[in-house]
Chain A
Amino acid sequence: MAATMTGCGIASLRSMFGLFYPRLATVAAGPQQMSCLHTSTTREQKHWERNNKIVYPPQLPGEPRRPAEIHHSRRQIKYSKDKMWYLAKMIRGMSIDEAVAQLQFNDKKGAKIMREVLLEAQEMAVKNHNVEYKSNLYVAESYTGKGMYLKRIRYHGRGMFGIMDKVYCHYFVKLVEGPPPTIEQKTSLDQANEYVESLKRRTIIHSL
Chain B
Amino acid sequence: MAAPVTRTLAVLQRATWSAFKASETSQGVPRHPFLLLVPVRTKKRFFVPPAVGVKGKQNVNPEAKARAAGVVFRQQYIERPINIACTAGIFDPYVPPEGDARLSSLSKEGLKQRTEQLRQSASSQLAIRKIKEFDSEFSSKDFAERAQEIFIEAHNALCTFDKDKLHSLVTERCYPEMTRGNRYKTLRWRLVESLEAPRVVHARSPDMVTKGNLYGQVTVRMHSRQTLAIYDRFGRLMLGGEDQPKDVLEYLVIERHLVNPYGRWRLHGKIVPSWAPAKDPIVKTVVIPGPKLKPGEEFDPLTYRVPQPQAVQWSK
- Across chains A and B, the number of contacting residue pairs, with CB separation under 8 Å, is 79
CB contact list, B235-292 vs A, under 8 A: 235-238, 284-285
Q: Which of B41, B186, B231, B236 has the most CB of A within 10 A?
A: B236
Q: How far apart sit A128 and B41, CA to CA, in the bound complex (Å)?
A: 54
Q: Which residue of A lies closest to B18 (CB)?
A: A12
Q: How far apart sit A41 and B22, CA to CA, in the bound complex (Å)?
A: 24
Q: How far apart sit A133 and B185, CA to CA, in the bound complex (Å)?
A: 19
Return chain B residues, CB-CB under 8 Å to A161. 39, 41
> Is A48 on the interface with B (CB-CB < 8 A)?
no
Cβ-defined partner of A158 (8 Å) among B1, B188, B229: B1
B235 touches A56 (CB 8 A): yes
Return chain A residues, CB-CB under 8 Å to B229. 58
Return chain A residues, CB-CB under 8 Å to B18. 5, 9, 12-13, 16
Given contacts A1-B11, A9-B25, whether A57 and B186 have CB atoms under 8 Å apart is yes
Cβ-defined partner of A132 (8 Å) among B1, B14, B39, B285: B285
Q: How far apart sit A68 and B1, CA to CA, in the bound complex (Å)?
A: 60
Q: How far apart sit A179 and B236, CA to CA, in the bound complex (Å)?
A: 18
Q: Which of B11, B26, B185, B232 has the most CB of A within 10 A?
A: B232
Return chain A residues, CB-CB under 8 Å to B21. 9
B41 touches A159 (CB 8 A): yes
> Is B103 on the interface with A (CB-CB < 8 A)?
no
A130 touches B5 (CB 8 A): no
Q: Is the interface of A mostly helix, strand, loop or mixed?
A: loop
Return chain B residues, CB-CB under 8 Å to A128. 184
Q: How far apart sit A128 and B241, CA to CA, in the bound complex (Å)?
A: 21
B235 touches A12 (CB 8 A): no
Q: How far apart sit A10 and B19, CA to CA, in the bound complex (Å)?
A: 8
Cβ-defined partner of A9 (8 Å) among B5, B26, B232, B237: B26
Q: Which residue of B lies closest to A61 (CB)?
A: B237
Q: CB-CB contacts of B157-188 with A at 8 A, as 1s and 0s?
A: 00000000000000000000000000011101
A13 touches B11 (CB 8 A): no
> Is B233 on the interface with A (CB-CB < 8 A)?
yes
Q: Shortest distance in angstroms between B241's beta carbon and chain A's nearest beta carbon? A: 10
Q: Shortest distance in angstroms between A132's beta carbon and chain B's nearest beta carbon? A: 4
> Is A208 on the interface with B (CB-CB < 8 A)?
no
Q: Which residue of B lies closest to A10 (CB)?
A: B22
Cβ-defined partner of B236 (8 Å) among A16, A66, A158: A66
A12 touches B237 (CB 8 A): no
Q: Shortest distance in angstroms between B287's beta carbon and chain A's nearest beta carbon? A: 8
Q: CB-CB contacts of A1-41 with B at 8 A, as 1s and 0s?
A: 10001000110110110010000000000000000000000
Q: Which residue of B lies closest to A160 (CB)?
A: B5
Q: Which of A9, A133, A160 has the most CB of B within 10 A?
A: A9
Cβ-defined partner of A19 (8 Å) among B15, B25, B184, B284: B15
Given contacts A68-B234, A130-B238, whether A58 and B186 have CB atoms under 8 Å apart is yes
Chain B interface residues toward A at CB < 8 A? 1, 5, 11, 14-16, 18-19, 21-23, 25-26, 39, 41, 184-186, 188, 229, 231-238, 284-285
Chain A interface residues toward B at CB < 8 A? 1, 5, 9-10, 12-13, 15-16, 19, 53-59, 65-69, 128-130, 132-133, 153, 155, 158-161
